[in-house]
Structure 1
Amino acid sequence: MEKKKKSMLLSALFMGLGQIYNKQYIKGISFMLVEILALINIPNFANAFWGLYTLGEVKFHYVNGKAVFDHSIFLMLQGLIAVLILLLVIFLYLFNIKDAGVNAERIEYKKLTIHDKLDRMFPYIVLTPGLLSLMFLILLPIIFTVLVAFTNFSAPYHLPPRNLVDWVGFSNFKDLFSMDIWSTTLKGTIKWTIIWAFLATFTSYFGGLFLAMLINSAEVKIKSFGEVFLYCPMLSQG
């Protein structure tokens, strides 16, 4: 138990030290490189967070014949990438502490072979490329699109790089409900979505439950014939 606490404390002080203490040198060096890169890039993180918060401060102008400006959309995207990377580093930091403790406990009771280590790390090795792709190819564009809705990004007066973009909060959504040209269509779409969701849920689940109760009742003699009508809608939806 003492070895577990010591390895976790070392990993908490600096990523990878607990793994090196457990004689897992490759894993320990990998974790150390993650923290070293994160520390080296602190100025870049700070600049990215500044860009995400302000969306730029320098308007388009020329200095000695060269265009100088802050591109609000690029700053937002860079800031969002920095947030995702920081969350990933925090996750790896916490995982590194837990991993050091778990492996110290296992080493204390059972000597781990290279095969055991690779077998335990195999799911992480296989899933990591997919999780990174999910984060930066799917999650990032979705969050970016949502964030744009909270800005005044529009043509012709708030279109980068000629003009800066500002955060406007929920004013765009308030306009959608207050402007007649949008509110009628939007409210109609919301009503239809709610009605469709209710009807789809009712027919799929409550309708299926009713059919199941009907088939199981004593009055239905040919059970297999009734099951055909119960499973066909489910198969069509699946």
Structure 2
Amino acid sequence: MIINPSENIAEARGAGRHAWCGLLLAIVPGFGQFYHRQWLKGSVFLVLLSSFMSIFYDFLSEGLWGLYTLGEEVPRDNSIFLLAEGIISVLIIAFGVLVYFLSLRDAWVNGKKRDEGVALNSVRKQYQMLLSEGFPYLMITPGFILLVFVVIFPILFGFAIAFTNYNLYHTPPAKLVDWVGFKNFINIFTLSIWRSTFFDVLQWTVVWTLLATTLQCTVGVLLAILVNQKDLRFKPMIRTIFILPWAVPGFVTILVFAGMFNDSFGVINNAILSFFGISPKAWLTDPFWTKTALIMMQTWLGFPFVFAMTTGVLQAIPDDSV
């Protein structure tokens, strides 16, 4: 069979035509889907992104301006509020860019299918696929959005504050806050008072992280192993007692411990330490003993969870296992 070179050239030129046309048209949201005759999906992308721009345009413009300038006039502009609005604007823009990217990707993927001669899914088929494959993503989307604004936003805000001159002498609304770049980080290592404060805080952070976490995990695991012994009686009652600190609100527990560790009338000094012949400690006035008390309180608050988790794991082990 003789192959006409002109046919090969035409096929080469036509390869990927639908994919590239769909991608180029998708620069305008929804038009790539319209090109593939997916009218409902294209309308959704068009309405969604058009509404996004019309609703958030003013907020995003002001937010980005505030993020760049941190205010220009006192007391009209509050630099901290403007910084927060700017970070929220960046997060909203990231969400819009994600939807826009999905629109482009959808137009490209469907174009590739058309170039390969594969029929596109109907509206009913797309709906069925959404329920079967996309349902988990739909369910976690609200939680993910909440996670972004409850966890990620505070982290970004604290990170951004580190690059400003926000301090006692630059506090809104009386004063504006300015961007200072890496000046604060340089001062940590060049100014002695900053350096000593930073390493003191860092040292306590490391001690707190290691001791508080290690102690509550150790106490919880050891108690779970002890209570899981076969010859121990009244296991349900003992487990209930160990779980009770978890049931009590943390604020109430902290108030109780504040009274117990009181230097004057606290039961720790007047009853427990005196019983063992140990001199009273300045739990609330001496930094060392205050930190020790905090670690003890965190251990009390945290070990019930570890105890419950370890107990569940131990009970799941078969009795005949070695």
For normalisation by structure 1, the TM-score amounts to 0.66
8 A contact 2:19–2:108 mirrored in 1: yes
Does 1:139 pair with 2:152? yes
How far apart, CA to CA, are the structure 1 residues paired with 2:150 and 2:42? 29
1:114 is matched with which residue?
A: 123
2:60 is matched with which residue?
A: 45
Q: Alignment partner for residue 81 of structure 1, among 88, 108, 112?
A: 88
Q: Report the CA distance shift for 1:184/1:126 in structure 2 as closer, same or farther (over 3 A).
A: closer
Q: Alignment partner for residue 90 of structure 1, among 91, 97, 104?
A: 97
- Structure 1 residue 181, shift from structure 2 partner: 4.5
Gaps of 5+ in 1: 61-68, 201-231
| Aligned residue runs from structure 1 range 69-218, under 5 A | 69-106=76-113, 108-122=117-131, 123=134, 124-155=137-168, 157-177=169-189, 178-179=192-193, 181-186=196-201, 188=203
2:224 is matched with which residue?
A: none
8 A contact 1:16–1:30 mirrored in 2: yes
How far apart, CA to CA, are the structure 2 residues paired with 1:129 and 1:23? 30
1:213 is matched with which residue?
A: none
| Aligned residue runs from structure 1 range 11-26, under 5 A | 11-12=26-27, 14-26=28-40
The number of residue pairs the alignment matches comes to 190
1:35 is matched with which residue?
A: 49
Alignment partner of 1:109: what SS? coil
8 A contact 2:110–2:120 mirrored in 1: no
- Structure 1 residue 78, shift from structure 2 partner: 1.0
8 A contact 1:106–1:112 mirrored in 2: no
- Structure 1 residue 190, shift from structure 2 partner: 8.0
How far apart, CA to CA, are the structure 1 residues paired with 2:95 and 2:202? 39
Q: Which amino acid aligns with 2:177?
A: V
Percent of aligned pairs sharing the same letter: 32
Structure with the bigger RCO (C-alpha within 8 Å, sep 6+) is 1
Q: Report the CA distance shift for 1:145/1:119 in structure 2 as closer, same or farther (over 3 A).
A: farther
Q: Report the CA distance shift for 1:26/1:162 in structure 2 as closer, same or farther (over 3 A).
A: farther
User: Which protein shows a greater Rg?
Assistant: 2
The answer to which of 75-84 and 15-24 deviates more is: 15-24
Q: Report the CA distance shift for 1:127/1:146 in structure 2 as closer, same or farther (over 3 A).
A: same
For normalisation by structure 2, the TM-score amounts to 0.50
8 A contact 1:34–1:89 mirrored in 2: no
8 A contact 1:59–1:70 mirrored in 2: yes
Q: Report the CA distance shift for 1:132/1:25 in structure 2 as closer, same or farther (over 3 A).
A: farther
1:216 is matched with which residue?
A: none
How far apart, CA to CA, are the structure 2 residues paired with 1:184 and 1:99? 51
- Structure 1 residue 27, shift from structure 2 partner: 2.1
